[in-house]
Each structure stands twice: as structure tokens, then as C-alpha cells.
Amino acid sequence: MNAKKRGLGKGLSALIQDKEKAEELISDVKLNPSEAVEEIEISRIIPKSDQPRKIFDEDALNDLKASIKENGVIQPIILRRKDDRYEIIAGERRWRAAKAAGLERIPSIVREIDEETAAKISLIENVQRENLNPIEEAEAYKRLMSEYSLKQEELAKAVGKSRSYISNSIRLLNLDERIIGYIYEGKLTGGHGKALLAIKNHEDQLEAANRIIELGMNVREAEEKAKVSKKRSKRNKKVKELFMIELEEKLMGALGTKVTLNHGRKSGRIEIEYYDDDDLERLIDLIVG
């Protein structure tokens, strides 16, 4: 295991499972009392473009805004210089709430860190939050595995989750994009998404998802709906297979040779076999007339 992988594994494990050890191991993430806290103009601060969290709960932001109006920003955010502005490394929620509260400046710690370290801190801060959207969490896990060459077992150990939890989380990204959007918007939960994964066909997935939303089904009801949809899909596939076999037999009877139908969702291909030049000529005469 390379040094980067070892460092990330230790950092994530410490942050999630042992706060005191985190203070010793991850100097990039902790707030050092000796660091200078600056009051940075909010208008000069920009969010990190690739930060894992894409959706911010409005009610939670309003609660934080009210707290900031009453008590100010208690914990400074972490920034790094980017051209003539400052990019948020940790604390975007605080920045958004402070902005909404009408503050012109926000207490900040400015660090000189590279892109890789900035990405690591942002990922760590977001992965350890329990209220990450299930899709955001899945994307964060996938990105951690990709960027730091981690296997699922290593990542699971690092974040204090089971391997199956990590695997099932990442599997949500295999859902139809429209269903992923529903989970982003909070119309469906991660549990609903896992139930829908039992349905392989994306159109059938979407139909079931819309029905779940329409009827306000809980996860258990969604699982039953997925089972029914899966059975219906298999039954429809079987009916189609029998129909295609019947068509093949009709064509073979008419042409006197082997015919294979390769049928897709909307298009397909007919394969007609011939055995020699005379047989080919015979088939052309039959088809063309």
C-alpha cells in the first residue's frame, strides 16, 4: 500500500472512529489554535466546484442562519487562495448560512495547500457527516476509491462501515439517472433505490419508482413492488421469447432454411442461412420473386 493510501486510510478511520486520534494524525483537517483566524469578505469566497455535497437542506440552513444571527460563526471555515479569491475547503454550509444571514465577513483560516490535499480534506469532511444525501455519499465513496486507489475492503475499514454497506451504497449509481435525480431531490430514499436495483430494465425501474412516489410507499412496500415488477418483466420476456420462436419457425417453413431473429428493444436483425450458391439463388428468388 503506498503512502498516500495509508495516509488517507488512517485519516478517515481516525476522523470517523476516534476524534482524539484524528487530532494527532490529520493536521490538515484539524483547527490548530495557533493558526491565525482572519475575517474574510464573503463576496471574495467561492465554493469548491467538485465538493461532494451538491444539495443543502433548506430547513437546516435556515436553522444555522438563525444561530449565526444570534451567536455569530463559532467555528471558522477553512479556505485556500485561488487567484484573487478564496476557495472553500471545509465549511460551505457555514458560508452559505452566513451569507444568507447578511454577514459581510466570516472568520476563516487560510491555508497554503495543493489541489490533492484540498480534495482530501473536502472528501473527509463530507464523508463523515451522517446527513449526506445517499447519492452524494455513494459518489464520495466512488471518488475516494478512484482517486486514492482504494479497494472496497480498505475503504470500509477506513470509514468504519461494512464492506456490504459501501458496496450497496455505490450500487445506487447504477440506477436509472432519473431515479438518481429523485433520490437527490428527496422524493425517494436510499432504501427505495436499493429495492429498485432488483429491477434490471431501466424503464421498468422508472415505472416502479413513479408508482412508489405516487402512492407514498415505504421501503418494504417498495421491495414488494420491485419483486412484482421483476416477475412481470421476466414473464414479458418469456412471452417475447415464445413469440420470436414462433416467428422463426414460420420463416424457416417459408424459406426452407435456418432463420435466426436477434431482437432488441426497438430494432433487430434477421439471419438467413444458405448452404451454397444454388441455395442462395433459390432464396433470392423466394424473397424477391
DSSP line for 106-175: EEEEE----HHHHHHHHHHHHHT-TTS-HHHHHHHHHHHHHHTT--HHHHHHHHT--HHHHHHHHHGGGS
Taking residues 249-270, report their average pLDDT. 76
pLDDT at residue 22, rounded to an integer: 34
Place of cell 469578505: 41
The three three-digit cell numbers of residue 126, written as one number: 463530507
The three three-digit cell numbers of residue 169, written as one number: 451504497
pLDDT at residue 44, rounded to an integer: 93
Count other C-beta atoms under 10 Å from residue 191's C-beta.
Answer: 15
Annotated catalytic sites, by residue? 92
| pLDDT per residue as tens digits for the range 12-33 | 443 344 334 333 333 444 556 6
Sign of CA dihedral 68, 99, 90, 124: positive
The CA distance from 233 to 242, in Å, is 14
pLDDT at residue 5, rounded to an integer: 45
| pLDDT per residue as tens digits for the range 59-86 | 778 888 898 888 888 888 888 888 889 9
The CA distance from 92 to 118, in Å, is 13
The three three-digit cell numbers of residue 51, written as one number: 465538493
Tell me the backbone φ, ψ of residue 107, rounded to 5 degrees: -60, 130
The answer to pTM > 0.85 is no
pLDDT at residue 55, rounded to an integer: 65
CA nearest to 53, candidates 160, 134, 159? 134
pLDDT at residue 8, rounded to an integer: 46
The CA distance from 219 to 189, in Å, is 8
Q: What is the dihedral of CA 155, 161, 163, 165, to 10 degrees?
A: -120
pLDDT at residue 236 tops 60: no
The CA distance from 159 to 166, in Å, is 9
Stated length of the chain: 289
Tell me the backbone φ, ψ of residue 131, rounded to 5 degrees: -95, 20
The CA distance from 73 to 209, in Å, is 41
Q: What is the DSSP letter of 75?
A: S
